[in-house]
Copies of this chain bind each other. A is one copy, B any other.
Amino acid sequence: MNTVQNLIDILKQAGMRITPQRRAICAYLAENDNHPTAAMIYDDLKAEMPSLSLMTVYNTLNTLANLGAIHVIGQAGDDTVHYDADTEPHINVICINCQKIVDVPSEHLVEIRQDIDRQSGYRLIGSRLSFYGLCPDCQAKAESSSGH
């Protein structure tokens, strides 16, 4: 998981200025391991920084994503893009009912990557691995509502 300083250093090394807005967005990403959308970050930071604009959140997230500091999760069940500050290879498991996202590490990712290197001629840069299903809570709800 990225630390605040880590993210800020990445921006600095890319020659970007460190503004209070960017600092706040980096702090949010480092301190929350939810998988926020731009709007979620905006709503949360608006309280402490009322002048913040949604455009700035989008800009900063896009910048960080282009630098590889965070990852983009599309297709989480709603029609908005989520971001993931954990750039270690891992799998997102997404609830199709409540959209909750959890991370699962797997040793076999290395082997998969090797398969792709061998079989496609692609020079790989990143990945996005998502499994879909019902989270424990939503399974329980489904049980109790159909059970009797």
Which residues from chain A sit less than 8 Å from chain B, CB to CB? 72-75, 81, 91, 93, 95-96, 102, 104-109, 111-113, 115-116, 119-136, 139
Partner pick for A131 among B93, B127, B135, B136, CB 8 A cutoff: B127
19 interchain pairs, CB-CB under 8 A:
A74-B75, A91-B112, A102-B120, A102-B122, A105-B119, A106-B112, A106-B115, A108-B112, A122-B134, A122-B135, A125-B132, A126-B131, A126-B133, A127-B129, A128-B128, A128-B130, A128-B131, A129-B129, A129-B130
In the bound complex, CA of A109 to CA of B108 (Å):
8
Complex copy number for this chain: 2
In the bound complex, CA of A121 to CA of B122 (Å):
34
